[in-house]
């Protein structure tokens, strides 16, 4: 009997099939002597939509809400139905004796597989492949240690609860807000409290009133000393500041106290997903979503890092024996950093990293044993991989040690403080690159109490208190983690959803609430805005995944909460006005048009949701380049026909037939469209005719 292996993506399925010796390739699966490897395309099955329960729900009406089915049903996603049908047909084969789940080893991957299995009505044994990297060795070892699928039933139950909760609350609240206020308004159990935090920060910024203050500095022994009194370095009285400046002018200072403190900073732990997203945002300006996408490439395509969507920063003890192999794999690009470590047999100095109790589904993100070919990586992949590698290498270096010296100097009754740090052991900072203070000269090394020092350059500095900054994505990820909003795997998508919905805007790396977002938060139920409620739900989901929670009770509470939230919206007397209404009327129904952002520029859409009228506001960019600045030119329609215009140089060119022809990309898309039927089989005669016609036009 053969085993049916279900992977999450075709690319992963191809790797698994190759390792398992499967060589007979078809459109929907790859077969070998012992295994048949097939794949999903992400989700093939999803929860039914309201209109699947009752066709009247296709039209959004406030009076129909809340929509709470007695039993949540599943349906096959239409766009990927052919792949589902293929898996369903495979399931009927009598020579397949078991199914092996090989989707991503996490909550969402479990859901992808289990919903497919439920929908194809698989009745034979099920096993689970659970691996933390996609290397050939990891796949081979994983197939030698397959687990019973029942071991992950609690994880599946947690995934179902999460999906149903998001459906019940997100769909009902969003429909209620949209129908009551006649504008697309999105809310949910995670995105709404996240938006609330952004709004609260904006309120603090707007309410902030800057206050003047003064600081005083002098130069003592070639070092800058700062005035200090009872822990405060600022003076909010200009007269007092000027009085102190006069008092110390021309006076000498006496060293009253010297305090030397030896400190040690232990090696940082490897990354989990959230901290990696935060560091990539700080260092490179990557969005959380971009980091997740680049990381997935490093994991899935290059096989250079372990499972990305982890919430742990620790390693299990069995990983220790693989350290030397991992170091050897990266040594081609990190020879100087790894040479002495490899000679030392890859001995880990940061022993705290090994903690089995702090690893749940997956350990921290570290390099795999796959040999590194650095030139195969894109610039963004190199940046992210370098962060992961250097954090990993820090485990093999000693702690960072330094001495902090603070001198208190009295100048005519006023105290000035000088701080200096002297590095004693650079340790792990030799690889993490944060040794900016490592080469300071020990200026206060021999100072003693009672020493008399000359004071020069007394200065007073006028400053203003500053408001808190708007959140960067790194800041917001930290807040979301602190309050338990979402999981490492979902936080990036939540931020992107807020941006896509128009509730939040990203400017210069900071997140700003839009007028729509500010109004929306005023309409949403108070309970849904609180991070505490959502954090409690996330903890319950984690408990269910561990087998310590009650899925039925969780969903019962969510259903009850959904009814309350919708009822509050129905009874609300709040008002709302779409901030993006224009003065133009829809040519089809006469309602005002709204201006919205689209992928290809700004659009004008009808404010009447049932109308559906939309047109482009900005001219479409062509592939024709400006002869002066070489940027893409806009294409316009005039009385004499089409013409190109450069919005930067104002150069205009008539669009001749040749210039108006399809772009190379459009040609490829057209060929692709007509080269295959819905089932993917070539229509050779039509494709060849089209190809010939396009060639003749060239």
Q: Which residues are catalytic?
A: 307
Angle at 648 between CA 642 and CA 654, to 5 degrees: 20
DSSP-derived secondary structure letter, 220: E
**In sequence order, what are the residues at sequence separation of 6 or more whose Cβ sits closer than 8 angstroms to the Cβ of residue 62?**
176, 179, 180, 570
Please name the residue that has the structure tokens 């395309």: 41
Q: What are phi and psi of 9, to 5 degrees?
A: -135, 155
Dist CA 18 CA 35 (whole Å): 11
* Backbone torsion region of residue 312, taken as left when φ is above 0, otherwise alpha when ψ lies between -120 and 50, otherwise beta: beta
Q: What are phi and psi of 487, to 5 degrees?
A: -125, 170
Q: What are phi and psi of 264, to 5 degrees?
A: -130, 135
Angle at 683 between CA 681 and CA 686, to 5 degrees: 160
Closest CA to 661 of 632, 638, 626, 693: 693
Q: Is the peptide bond between 66 and the residue preceding it cis, with omega within 30 degrees of 0?
A: yes
Angle at 65 between CA 63 and CA 70, to 5 degrees: 135
Dist CA 686 CA 496 (whole Å): 41
Secondary structure class of 187 (helix, strand, coil):
coil
Dihedral sign computed on CA atoms, order 468, 472, 476, 482? negative
CB contact at 8 A, 62 and 180 = yes
Dist CA 541 CA 157 (whole Å): 9
Please name the residue that has the structure tokens 């209109």: 51
Would you tell me the crossing angle of helices 81-90 and 107-120 to the nearest 10 degrees?
A: 70
Closest CA to 138 of 322, 5, 310, 294: 322
Would you tell me the crossing angle of helices 191-207 and 473-482 to the nearest 10 degrees?
A: 120
CB contact at 8 A, 216 and 458 = yes
Dihedral sign computed on CA atoms, order 77, 81, 86, 92? positive
Closest CA to 474 of 202, 291, 201: 291
**In sequence order, what are the residues at sequence separation of 6 or more whose Cβ sits closer than 8 angstroms to the Cβ of residue 114?**
101, 156, 159
Angle at 141 between CA 135 and CA 144, to 5 degrees: 145
Give me the residues paired with residue 602 across strands: 597
How many CA atoms, within 13 angstroms, populate the side-chain half-sphere of residue 674? 12
Residue 621 in tokens = 């960019």
Dist CA 485 CA 476 (whole Å): 10
Dist CA 662 CA 660 (whole Å): 7
Measured between alpha carbons, how far is residue 542 from residues 208, 396, 539, 610 in Å? 39, 33, 5, 41
Alpha-helix runs per DSSP H in 153-209: 153-165, 172-181, 191-207
How far the first Cα of the chain sits from its last, in Å, is 55
Residue 587 in tokens = 């040519």
């Amino acid at each position: 009997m053969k085993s049916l292996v279900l992977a999450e993506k075709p690319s992963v399925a191809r790797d698994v099939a190759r390792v398992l010796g499967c060589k007979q390739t078809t459109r929907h699966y790859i077969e070998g002597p012992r295994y048949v490897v097939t794949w999903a395309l992400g989700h093939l099955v999803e929860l039914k939509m309201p209109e699947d329960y009752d066709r009247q729900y296709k039209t959004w009406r406030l009076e129909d809400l809340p929509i709470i089915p007695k039993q949540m049903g599943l349906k096959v996603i239409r766009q990927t139905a052919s792949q589902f049908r293929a898996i369903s047909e495979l399931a009927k084969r009598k020579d397949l004796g078991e199914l092996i789940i090989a989707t991503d080893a996490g909550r969402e991957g479990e859901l992808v597989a289990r919903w497919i299995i439920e929908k194809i009505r698989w009745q034979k044994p099920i096993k689970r492949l659970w691996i933390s990297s996609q290397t050939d060795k990891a796949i081979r070892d994983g197939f030698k240690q397959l687990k019973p699928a029942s071991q992950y039933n609690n994880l599946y139950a947690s995934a179902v609860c999460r999906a149903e909760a998001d459906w019940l609350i997100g769909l009902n609240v969003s429909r209620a807000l949209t129908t009551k206020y006649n504008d697309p308004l999105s809310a949910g159990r995670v995105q709404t409290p996240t938006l609330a935090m952004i709004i609260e920060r904006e309120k603090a910024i707007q309410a902030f009133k800057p206050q003047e203050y003064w600081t005083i500095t002098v130069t003592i022994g070639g070092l800058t000393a700062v005035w200090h009194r009872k822990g405060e370095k600022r003076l909010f009285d200009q007269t007092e500041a000027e009085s102190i400046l006069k008092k110390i002018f021309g006076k000498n200072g006496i060293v009253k106290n010297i305090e030397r403190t030896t400190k040690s900073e232990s090696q940082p732990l490897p990354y989990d997903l959230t901290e990696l997203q935060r560091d990539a945002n700080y260092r490179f300006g990557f969005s959380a979503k971009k980091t997740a996408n680049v990381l997935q490439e490093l994991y899935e395509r290059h096989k250079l890092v372990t499972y990305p969507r982890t919430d742990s920063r620790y390693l299990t003890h069995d990983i220790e024996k693989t350290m030397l192999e991992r170091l050897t794999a990266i040594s081609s690009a990190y020879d100087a950093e790894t040479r002495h470590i490899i000679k030392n047999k890859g001995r880990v100095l940061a022993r705290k990293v090994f903690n089995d109790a702090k690893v749940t589904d997956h350990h921290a993100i570290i390099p795999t044993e796959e040999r590194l070919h650095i030139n195969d990586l894109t610039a963004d992949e190199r940046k992210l991989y370098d962060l992961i590698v250097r954090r990993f290498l820090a485990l093999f270096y000693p702690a960072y040690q330094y001495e902090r010296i603070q001198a208190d100097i009295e100048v005519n009754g006023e105290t000035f403080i000088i701080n200096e740090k002297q590095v004693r052991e650079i340790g792990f900072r030799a690889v993490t690159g944060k040794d900016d203070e490592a080469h300071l000269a020990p200026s206060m090394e021999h100072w003693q109490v009672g020493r008399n020092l000359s004071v020069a350059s007394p200065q007073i500095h006028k400053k203003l208190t500053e408001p808190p900054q708007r959140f960067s994505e790194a800041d917001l990820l930290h807040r979301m983690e602190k309050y338990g909003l979402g999981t490492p795997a979902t936080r990036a998508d939540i931020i992107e959803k807020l941006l896509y919905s128009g509730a939040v805007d990203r400017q210069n790396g900071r997140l700003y609430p839009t007028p729509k977002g500010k109004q929306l938060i005023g309409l949403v139920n108070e309970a849904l805005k609180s991070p505490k409620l959502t954090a409690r739900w996330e903890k319950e989901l984690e408990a269910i995944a561990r087998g310590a929670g009650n899925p039925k009770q969780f969903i019962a509470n969510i259903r009850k909460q959904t009814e309350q939230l919708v009822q509050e919206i129905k009874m609300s007397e709040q008002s709302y006005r779409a901030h993006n209404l224009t003065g133009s009327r829809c040519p089809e129904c006469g309602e005002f048009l709204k201006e919205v952002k689209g992928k290809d520029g700004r659009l004008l859409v009808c404010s009447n949701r049932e109308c559906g009228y939309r047109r482009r506001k900005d001219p479409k960019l062509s592939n024709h380049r400006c002869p002066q600045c070489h940027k893409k030119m806009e294409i316009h329609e005039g009385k004499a026909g089409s013409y190109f215009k450069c919005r930067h140089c104002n150069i205009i060119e008539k669009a001749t037939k040749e210039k108006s022809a399809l772009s190379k990309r459009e040609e490829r898309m057209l060929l692709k469209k007509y080269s295959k039927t819905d089932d993917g089989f070539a229509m050779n005669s039509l494709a060849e005719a089209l190809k010939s016609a396009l060639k003749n036009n060239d």
